[in-house]
Amino acid sequence: MPFRASLRRLLPRGPKYLRNFGFYHGLRLMARAEFATGGAQGTITHDVPGFGPATLRRTLGDYSAFWQCLVMQQYDIAGIPHADGLQALYRALLQTGRRPVIVDCGANIGMSCLWFAQAFPEATIVAVEPEAGNFDLLRINTARLGARAIAVQAAVANAPGRLRLDNPAAGSTAFRFSADKSGGVPGHTIDELVARVPDGTLFLVKIDIEGGQKFLFEKNTEWIERSALLIVELEDWLFPWEGNSQTFISSMAGRNYDYVLHGENILCFNIDRVRPALPV
Say if strands 229-232 and 200-207 run parallel, antiparallel, or are unpaired. Answer: parallel
- Average pLDDT rounded to a whole number, residues 65-93: 96
pLDDT (0 to 100) of residue 171: 47
The secondary structure of 54-74, three-state, reads EEEECCHHHHHHHHHHHHCCC
**Domain tally, the chain:** 2
- For residue 217, being part of any structural domain is answered with yes
Strand partners, 265: 262
DSSP string, 197-210: STTEEEEEEEE--T
Same domain, 216 and 256: yes
The tens digit of pLDDT for each residue in 85-100 reads 999 999 999 999 999 9
In angstroms, rounded to a whole number, what is the distance separating the alpha carbons of residues 214 and 108? 19
Q: Assess if residue 112 is contained within a domain.
A: yes
In a shared domain, residues 102 and 144: yes
Say what the pLDDT of residue 172 is. Answer: 43
CA distance 70 to 28: 15
* 120 and 10 assigned to the same domain: no
146 and 13 share one domain: no
Residue 77 domain flag? no
Task: Give yes or no: residues 170 and 241 share one domain.
Answer: yes
- pLDDT tens by residue, 148-191: 999 999 999 999 888 776 655 554 444 566 666 556 789 999 99
Examine the domain organization and report whether 194 and 100 are in the same domain. Answer: yes
Same domain? 16 vs 44: yes
Task: Give strand pairing partners of 149.
Answer: 125
58 with 93, same domain: the answer is no
Burial class (CB in 10 A: 0-12, 13-18, 19+), 95: exposed
Shared-domain flag, residues 9 and 98:
no
What is the CB-side half-sphere exposure of residue 159 using CA atoms within 13 A?
9
Which residue, 71, 98, 125, sits at the end of a domain? 71
Per the prediction, the chain carries an average pLDDT of 90
Closest CA to 218 of 156, 153, 128, 129: 156
Note whether residue 11 is domain-resident: yes
> Can you give the pLDDT at residue 206?
98
| Rounded Cα distance, 245 and 242, in Å | 9
How confident is residue 212, by pLDDT bands cut at 50, 70 and 90?
Answer: confident
b/e 180-208 (16+ beta carbons within 10 angstroms → b): eeebebbbbbbebbbeebeebebbbbbbb
Residues 114 and 56 occupy one common structural domain: no
Residue 37: the pLDDT is 75
CA 29 – CA 56 distance, rounded (Å)? 13
Residue-number span of the structural domain to which 47 is assigned: 3-71
Whether residues 107 and 146 fall in one domain: yes
Q: What percent of the chain has pLDDT over 70?
A: 89
Instruction: Indicate if 17 and 45 belong to the same structural domain.
Output: yes
Domain boundary among 16, 51, 71: 71
pTM: 0.91
